[in-house]
Structure 1
Amino acid sequence: MNSTAKTGTADDALFDQLGPRARARLRTVSIIATVVLLAVVTGMLIALGASGQLDPDRWAILVDGDYLGFLATGLGLTLVVGLVSTALSVILGVLLALGRISRSAWLRLPCAGLIEFFRAMPLLLILFFIMFAMPMLGLRLPTFWQLVLAIVAHASAIFAEIVRAGILSIGSGQSEAGKAIGLRHREVMGLIVLPQATRALTPALITQMVRTIKESSLGYVVGLSELLNNGKILSEFTGNFIQSFIGVGLFYIIVNIVLSRVAERLTSRVGKHA
């Protein structure tokens, strides 16, 4: 009761309560928006029906074992790219984060420069550089590693900032206590600070992992047979573009839901052990 009362008081202080007229306007706007949305959806369904896109035969690919198996194969490669990229990005991100908070300017400044540079660069531009510029320099990579390297370069900078924020959120008393018992700076970071920061940042890291998996959809640019590229091939083979890409979207939604549930469970466990 007390917590509810406090929350209500805080909300009242931050936001003005809507009056009768404002509530009536809000209801009117909501009704109009709902009607417009339903009209748009109805118009789309009518247009799809007129073009034959709602015929059951076109949607059969979403229940056909061969077609679903083809998409599932692409999903498998997408997950491999995502997991490999995430693992490498986390490792490199931790190293960059430790470098950025280092006491040595010779290490801190280059790490900060790399983080800011790759955070600012669009992933597609990094991928184009690896695809076209690196071969000019005599460096040729398989398509799998072209995509992974591009994702790692971009994602590791984001992971580095997440880890750095987690490290800085740990009170200085933890480090001082470690040094008081004779631990060196590296031991304090490895044994005390990093484990606590990792537990606190687990949900954020998983959220970034979901994003990394979705970034693997750029595999179609390098011709990698990942989920989106397989969906494109399926749409060209069957002529059912809408249905094929809806199937691809459903696969992505399933993966994101699963990872979101994992994040929620880890968050609850971290809260219990905190």
Structure 2
Amino acid sequence: MSGTVLFDAPGPRARVRNMVVSVITVAITVLIAWVVYSRLEAKGQLTAAKWEPFLTANLWTTYVLPGVQGTLTAAAVSIVFALALGFLLGVGRMSTISPIRWACAVIVEFFRAVPVLIMMIFAYFLYAFYDVFASEHLALAGVITGLTLYNGAVIAEIVRAGVNALPRGQAEAASALGLRWGQTMRSILLPQAITSMLPVLVSQLVVVLKDTAIGYQITFVEMVRQGTVVGSSYGNYIPALIVIAALMISVNFALSSLATRLERRMRRSRRGPAPLEAEAVEQEGAPGAKVV
């Protein structure tokens, strides 16, 4: 019997129809790409002269590298703070103490509802008004604050969903053993939930990296802003944005690859012993045990 899990294998007519649709889709895509390329070529945006500035060290040291540094700095600090805040609020929302649970719920729902840009602008002017940071660090502090508060609230919901997705018997067994709620959460539930939450957490961390571009509204120096500055200075907007897009994709891909490797390693480390190893441990721990 031929077929897949979700649907039966297509018959002769369906295969022909699928082939025709695929060919038409590819042809339309190629046509659109050709039209876009022709327009850009006619505007002179893809000529070799437009790419030559990227072969000079001055462009990279003056524009691109400061933007990369600003993006990575804001993203790295925001990710650390957002993870810490998210786990704190997520665990707080599951607390057995009602005031803590309600306070964390209000904080999470509030910062999830407020746009990131509003929080960045508010933090920027608040820090400037009270002279909290030096002027050269105001924009960075505003970006980090906005990203931390918003993504911390989102990560809190991810943590809560990951813990609630575990079998209820885990908590019941821990309670039967006499473990307190904090011990159960710290030693049993959170370690298991982190592995299942990791793909969603990585997606949210990529969002943090991309949302640093919003900081240009408060004069923060980041990659996308610097790309537009390069395009304005050298008259090569399309090549500049292509280079910036390639850099952003590379950073996001590196972050995703690192998280994938970490997830695989965590899953391997949580596997139980192999049957032979378990049997050997049983025999070693109980010398008089009968082996079947």
TM-score range, shorter chain: 0.7 to 0.9
> Aligned equivalents of 1:238 and 1:60: distance in 2?
10
Alpha-carbon distance in 2 for matches of 1:202, 1:225 = 30
Instruction: Determine whether 1:241 maps to 2:237.
Output: yes
Residue 168 in 1 paired to residue 164 in 2? yes
Asked if residue 148 in structure 1 is aligned to residue 144 in structure 2, the reply is yes
Partner residue, 1:87 = 80
- Looking at structure 2, the residues matched to 227 and 211 of structure 1 have their Cα atoms a distance apart, in angstroms, of 15
Equivalence for 2:25: 33
CA contact (8 A) 1:61 1:68 kept: no
Q: TM-score, normalised by structure 2?
A: 0.81
Relative distance call for 1:129 and 1:22 in structure 2 (3 A) is farther
- Determine if the alignment matches structure 1 residue 44 to structure 2 residue 39: no
Q: Does the Cα contact within 8 Å between 2:3 and 2:9 map onto a contact in 1?
A: no
Amino acid corresponding to residue 62 of structure 1 in structure 2: F
**1: distance between equivalents of 2:42 and 2:13?**
43
Q: Max radius of gyration: which structure?
A: 2
Which consecutive residues of structure 2, in runs of 5 or more, have no partner in the other structure?
271-292
Q: Which of 5, 14, 17 is the aligned partner of 1:22? A: 14
- 2:100 maps to a residue whose letter is L
The answer on whether the counterparts of 1:235 and 1:241 sit within 8 Å (CA) in structure 2 is yes
Query: Which amino acid is the alignment partner of residue 10 of structure 2?
Result: L
Name the residue aligned to 1:264. 260
Which residue is equivalent to 1:121? 114
For 2:280, the equivalent position in structure 1 comes to none
| Equivalence for 1:220 | 216
In the other structure, the counterpart of 2:52 is 60
1:97 aligns with 2:73: no
Judged with a 3 Å threshold, the aligned counterparts in structure 2 of structure 1 residues 38 and 99 are, in CA distance, closer, same or farther, namely same
RMSD of aligned C-alpha atoms?
2.5
Figure out how many residues of one structure are paired with residues of the other and give that number: 265
1:146 Cα deviation from its structure 2 partner? 0.8
- 1:187 and 2:183 aligned: yes
Conserved 8 A contact 1:61-1:244: no
> 1:254 Cα shift?
0.6
Shift of 1:16: 4.4
Comparing 99-108 with 122-131, greater Cα deviation is found at 122-131
1:87 aligned partner, one-letter code: V
Amino acid at match of 2:26: T
1:177-208 CA-to-partner distances (Å, cap 9, x unmatched) read 43444432212222222222223323322222
Q: Contact 1:207/1:263 (CA < 8 Å) preserved in 2?
A: no
